[in-house]
Structures are given as structure tokens and as C-alpha cells.
A and B are shown apart, each in its own frame.
Chain A
């Protein structure tokens, strides 16, 4: 059986490999493979449910006797609960259960054991104080108002510089540094700087950005007897099951996590948050199903955000542009707690994107008294790109090189960090070429300024993971009528996973996609699949489905061979028909084969195999942007974005386009308007809403082009697929900032590029606008 699964056990520093099942011989989809379903546009399989309002999200679960929960949250950025009295709330008609530090289990901890489920120390505005389950959302709110809490406010700190002072108020007893700094160095960075002809030294900052998925975090929990069911808005049903079972001391098979559809997560729903366990306990206490969904304010305060950063960057280069040194000192503002999930490795991009012998990065995490950060679509890389890609632009200007030329001059074909070859050494090259060609980078003619409006162009690149990895499992069941159920424990978080997986199965089995159903999002029904994070669902689960389909097909052909009195090797399935090579008359439909078998059933099992060991698998991309800046009003308009992203083989161009456009749209928000505003004196988050936390509207989006880059990467898996979920957001903001500079000669180093920042910079650099002449130069193009 062509199934292979290797588990790596880490024991201290020792790595032990445990082979679970191993066989080889899976076919691969190489460059010569002809496809009928894969690579074709395919609309979403769940489309009908979504356009009719029938798609059921966690928020939409309605069970008989269901209660609604609300959470009382800390009004202080830092405080101790002296006393809490819930008596009045308990007496309110319609209230069924109340939890607080007064009665909640004391042994459930959260956030790396730094907080209890209901902790008496509160470390940010929005930290959980108590929770109520009542017969309506309104009653639950009424009950919250009746809870009496005596708080003792404690000194707090919001600003990162202040938090690093020795006498700063301490967020945690051990201080405000998350850990020792993470330091990486190759070569000798200081010497590299000395060797340089030109040095760029600048500090860039990125803001705290909030995911603001439209469906908030939350779940509906029903604890019946010894069985707990959670309809959770999550990116990882198995991760949720494991953690919830552990926290509640339940065996895993007594916890079932269901997620049919999800209204966005963008990383913030990678891990279960306190409210999930709170809902479960409220259900246990009341004996009713309990729905606990966060309101928009809580969603902004207490359900994660993209960490703000301060990045001091130094780049050294020779006259010809060859990099001699890259240095970055990085502060990552994590909020009050570390949450888990994908880490924000801001340092990674500095270490990998450009060829450079001397690189040093130092990254520290800093606690402050504000809501905790959590992975947000390409965590770390969005932040890093904003700084590194702007610094590269500054370097290009200083060297009078075209920014594209500078990038090409420092192109890396290997993984310098691990000293391994890249699986696709020219992928970024291809992205550069396609994006710039479609954009017209080399031939760009800046339109003459019309009144106060100036045009400019910018480019930025990115690299990211997205190879996918084991483990992930899938089953394929062939029904008597020739239809197929694909079963796996993954989830479709809005990326189109159902559709992509169905395409893989349809292709292998030679069936039209209409004959395939994909069942996912239920730990009780499907085998393990990983959390949908790191752009890995299609690349992790797709190969498992592929393997399962290959296995099912093998069995099917064996049966068909008997029926057709042929050798299985001579059979092929096309369009639902099993035929014998070269004998067009000798055939059976798949339904005829499975019908003869029924009620016996063909079941294919598949597992995701390991990635190639000798190569580093990464994804790459580049975007070119044109902006228009109104130098009188400070208004920035992003006119167009051309993107080229390597995601391995493209299974469904429609979904890839949508991911790219969605990423760019979030990139526009990150670049221009999105920022959590906190009053540092009071610790207040002032825009915990969608009014003043401004995500782009339909009128804010540029004209967008996604140039397909279809480079199957067989080092990743037999389907050649890599991820596309996260990367498209990465280069957008720096490309915009670079284009703004190109337009007006003013460098904005703080995301977002607000009017306030732009107008202030314009006021101090008024003279540079007039001579903003041609920062974009045709000179030195390679």
C-alpha cells in the first residue's frame, strides 16, 4: 500500500524517527501529466449553501433548550479581583449558570500556564472575569450588569519602550521580556557592514492589526452525560479537541468538535481560546447547550491580533549592489500573553530572502497590558516585509539602481540558513519576471502630474513556507452507484478546501466532480488532519486524498479487471468509464463496477507522506504596485497591483485568484488604514469596532491582476502543490510604501501610512516633492 507516514519525536534535542507505515511507489503528477479536472476553474462546492443562507456556521447552531452566554471582561488594563459577588445575577429569571474565579475549576490554566481560566489577576482590558448563560443574549447581558466586582487597579504598561525600562510595571512577575532574545548570525555581520560602500540604517514600525474575521470566535457547546460536543469556529478541529479534552480531563473520544463552515479566521482561530472551555463548563453546569460567541468588541480586544513590531534594520552593500550585511534588531509586541499556534518569526525573512554571507538578527518579544497577539496570515513575514522590502528600496535609491535590479543582483538560489538547495531555485525569478512583465515595470512611463496628484510604482517580494507536511489522513469510499465520499478531518475555512480536495479525488479516479462529495469538519467522522494554518491545507491534506484515491482506484481496477477479464495494468478510467487500453468497446462504467460489488465497498485510505529531506521547500512571490498620491490632502490611492505567486501546482485557478485578491485587499488595509489605537495613559483600546478599525471597503481596492505561476514542486508532495493562503498579503504593504516614495520622494516607515503621517512628512520635506524627479530609474536594468 503506497502509504507512508513518519513521525518525528523530539526528546530534548534528540530527534527520533518512528516509522508508522512505509511503502513507496505513489505515482506523481509531473510536468507531463494530462489533467481533466485539476488546473481547471471550478466554483465552490458549498456555493449553493452559502448563497442561500443555508450554510450553518457555529453562530447559527440552534439546539433545543439552547442558552446564550456572555462574558464579563476586565475594565482595567491591569488589576486584581479583590472580591466578586454573583448572587444578584444568579437570581435573575432566565439565568442558568454563572462562572467566575469564585466557582470555576482552579486547575485549568491558559496562555502557557500564565493565567487560569478565570484568573484573579487581569492583564488587559478584555481579560475574562465571569461568564453567564441565560435564555437570551439580552438576559445574559442583563445578568452581567448585576455581577459585583471589587477591582484593585495595578500599574500597567502599554508602550513598548516603556515596557523595556527596568522599573516598568510588570505584566508578569518575571518581567516584560518574553524570553531571552533569539539571535541568529551567519558570517560576520559587523565586518560585512564595514566592507560595505553604502549602508542603510533605518527603523521601521508596524502596527497592531486585528484579524476581524466577520464571524467572531466562539462556539456552541453541549455537554450531555459524558459526551461533549463543540460546534466551534475553528481552523483546527483536532487541535481544539486535544486541548479541550486535556483541559477538562476528558478522554478525546468523548469530545467531538464540529465545524461545517467558518466565517474567517486568518490565523486567529488556530487555537482554542478560553471561551471554548467556558462554554463547555456553562453547558455542564446548566445541562443545556450553550452558545458563546464573542461580540465585536471582545473580538477586537481579546481574540488575538497581529503583533506590532519595531525593526531596526541595517543593510550594507557594495557599489554594484551586492549585499555585504543584513542586520535586524526586532521587538515584537506580544500583548499580555503568548497564545501558541504559528509563531511570528519576523527574523526569518531577513535570513532567507536575499543572498548575503553576513546576517545577524535579534528578536525579542515584549509583554504589554493589552490583548494577546496570535498568528495573523503570514505572521512575522508581513511585518518583516514591510521593513526589509522598504530598506531594499532605500538601498536601491542610494545606489541609483532599479529596485528590481538590486533584488536580482542578490538573488538566492539556496536556503542559506540551512545550507540546503531550494526545491525550486528559480521560483522567485519566475515571479519577478511574470509580475514585472505583466505590470510593465521596465517600460513604465510616469504620467505627468495632474495638479496635486503624483503617480509612482513600487515592488516587493516575499518568501514563505506552505509546503505542507505530514500527518494528514483521508478516506475515500466508493458507493454502489459510483459516487464517492471523501472523508477527512480537515476544515474549510473559506479557502475552498472542499473544492480543491474534490478536484484531486476526481482527477485520480477519473470521475466528474459532480460525483464527489467531501465530508470534513467533524472529529467524530473523519481521520486526523492538521490545523488549517501555514497555507498548508491543500498541500497537507491534498496528498492524503491523492493517496487514498490512488488506493481506491487500485482496488477498483482490480475488480474491474476481473469483470472485464483483463489485466488491471491495462485499464484506465476516463469520465467515469473504466476502459481497456486500445479496446474502446471493452468497458464498464465505474457505477457498473461498484454496483456489482455493492453492498461491499471499496475504501481507500491515504496518508500524507514526508517532504523531501535534502531540499528546502518554500513559496515565493512578487508584487508590483502603482499608486497615486494627492500631495495636498495626503490621500493615497492604490491604482493597481500585479501579483505573481509561486504555489506549486495550481489545482484550481479560481480559488488561487480569490486567495491572491483577498490577500492584496488585506495588504491594502494593513498599508493604509488598519491599526488598533490604544490610549497609552489609560490602556483603553479606542477602536475595538469596525467603525474606527478600518478595513478596506469595495471602493478601496485597486485593479488587481494575478499572473499564474504554475510550478509543480514534487519535493513537496506527489501532487506538486504548495500553499497560497497567506503569502499574497506579504508584499502588498511594502510595495505600496515603495510606490509612495516613488511618487513623492517621501519615505514613510511606519505602517499604516496614515494621512497624519503622510501630511506631517510632507510638511517637513516639502522641498523634496519638487525634486522628486525620477527616483524610478531605467538605469542598470539587468
Chain B
């Protein structure tokens, strides 16, 4: 019943993994099952929620609608690949500071979408920040603080010194 597995090389967070995968395995399932990278979440599996957002060659995409075998030669970044050593990405730091999550199930997706934005638009305006997360549902309704976190992180990236100072004043 199952089809031929294909030998597939996936470059995830800078590390290449060689996997024998059924073509029907989505990138999301490959991450969560074959690589045990469970930070990327499965919620709808149909492109309706954004919880599975990862970066593919720097751009935000839904891992549930990508076939893993289709991701060879592409650089994939997941939430696990954001922090450098022990240093959190400014977005991660900002999410904690702004209380930009409750249950946390949408969080990886939200952060990756904003990461995709900051990759291309280092100094986004508020509208760009909002648009960047229009493809990420949050059932807990943390949206307001997600936008706040996006702003904090963007400012931090643009002006590391000032932003730090501004944070500590409130």
C-alpha cells in the first residue's frame, strides 16, 4: 500500500539530514516525527492556522502543505534554530517580555512569521508587522501582545541600544 520511499536530504537549521521518506510525508511530519523537532506545531494540517510556519530559504511557509521530498536543496529554519547557542533571538526575548502567548501553541508559528518579515524588512512599520502575522491564528487571543512583541523586536534589531533602554522604563 505504501509507496516507494525516497532518499531525501533536508537542511534544517544548518544541519543536513538524510532521510528515507514516503513522498506523502509533509515537511511538518518529517520535522515532528523523523527529526523529533516538535517545536513546529500541527493544528489544522490544511493551511488554515499558521502553527506550522517555518522558514524555507528565509521565507515563511506552512510546513503542512509542503512535501518533505520537495524540500531538498532548500534551507529550512524552525523555531529550534532561532536561538544562537544560549542567546535568544530578539523575537523570542520580546515574546516573553510582551506576554505574547498564553498556551503557547501558536507561538512558534507567530515567531517564524515575524522572523520572515524581519529577514526582508529590517525596520518594518506597524502595519507590516500586523500583516506578517495575518496568517497565524491564536485561539488564546494573544494578538495584541504579539504585535507588541513584533514592535519590540524590530526596534531591538534596528537600534539595539535604545530599545533596551526603552524596555527597562516600563
Contacts and interface: CB of A to CB of B under 8 A. Distances in A.
B141 A666 contact: yes
A496 B134 contact: no
B152 interface: no
A138 B49 contact: no
A673 interface: no
Contact of A661 (B29, B38, B91, B141): B141
A754 to B, nearest CB: 19
A658 B46 contact: no
Contacts of A59: 38, 41-42
A213 B95 contact: no
Contacts of B41: 57, 59, 214-215, 263
Interface string B29-47: 1001100111111111110
Nearest to A56: B38
Given A51-B96, A658-B140, 9 more contacts: A52-B88, A53-B37, A138-B25, A138-B29, A261-B103, A261-B104, A496-B102, A662-B141, A698-B146
Nearest to A43: B96
Interface of B: 1-2, 22, 24-25, 29, 32-33, 36-46, 48-49, 51, 78-80, 82-83, 88, 91-93, 95-97, 99, 101-108, 111, 130, 133-134, 136-147
Interface in A200-215: 211-215
B168 to A, nearest CB: 13
Interface stretch (A342-350, A569-577, A689-697, A762-770): A689-697
A48 interface: yes
A8 interface: no
Nearest to B33: A136
13 contacts: A52-B82, A53-B40, A53-B79, A94-B2, A138-B25, A142-B1, A494-B103, A658-B99, A661-B145, A666-B139, A696-B143, A698-B133, A701-B143
Contacts of B46: 296, 689-691
B142 A658 contact: yes
A698 B131 CA distance: 9
Contact of A44 (B96, B106, B136): B96
Nearest to B136: A698
Contacts, number: 175
A697 B99 contact: no
A238 B33 CA distance: 29
Contact of B105 (A43, A214, A663, A689): A214
Nearest to B105: A263
A139 interface: yes
B2 A142 contact: yes
Nearest to A214: B105
B152 to A, nearest CB: 12
Contacts of A213: 103, 105, 139
A55 B107 CA distance: 11
A267 interface: no
B96 A214 contact: no
A5 B89 CA distance: 47
A142 B147 CA distance: 42
A663 B88 contact: no
A530 B46 CA distance: 36
The 5 closest A-B pairs by CB, nearest first: A53-B39, A665-B141, A494-B103, A263-B105, A662-B141
Contact of A655 (B36, B88, B99): B99
B1 A92 contact: yes
A696 B49 CA distance: 11
B39 A264 contact: no
A295 interface: yes
A750 B106 CA distance: 31
A493 interface: yes
A596 interface: no
A663 B146 CA distance: 16
A215 B107 CA distance: 12
A717 to B, nearest CB: 24
B44 A690 contact: yes
A65 interface: no
Contacts of B104: 46, 49-50, 55, 261, 263, 494
A690 to B, nearest CB: 4
Given A50-B104, A51-B88, A62-B38, A697 B43 contact: no
Contacts of A665: 141, 143
A690 B39 contact: no
A249 to B, nearest CB: 33
B99 A701 contact: no
Contacts of A658: 99, 102, 140, 142, 145
A659 to B, nearest CB: 8
Contacts of A212: 139
A360 B108 CA distance: 50
A748 interface: no
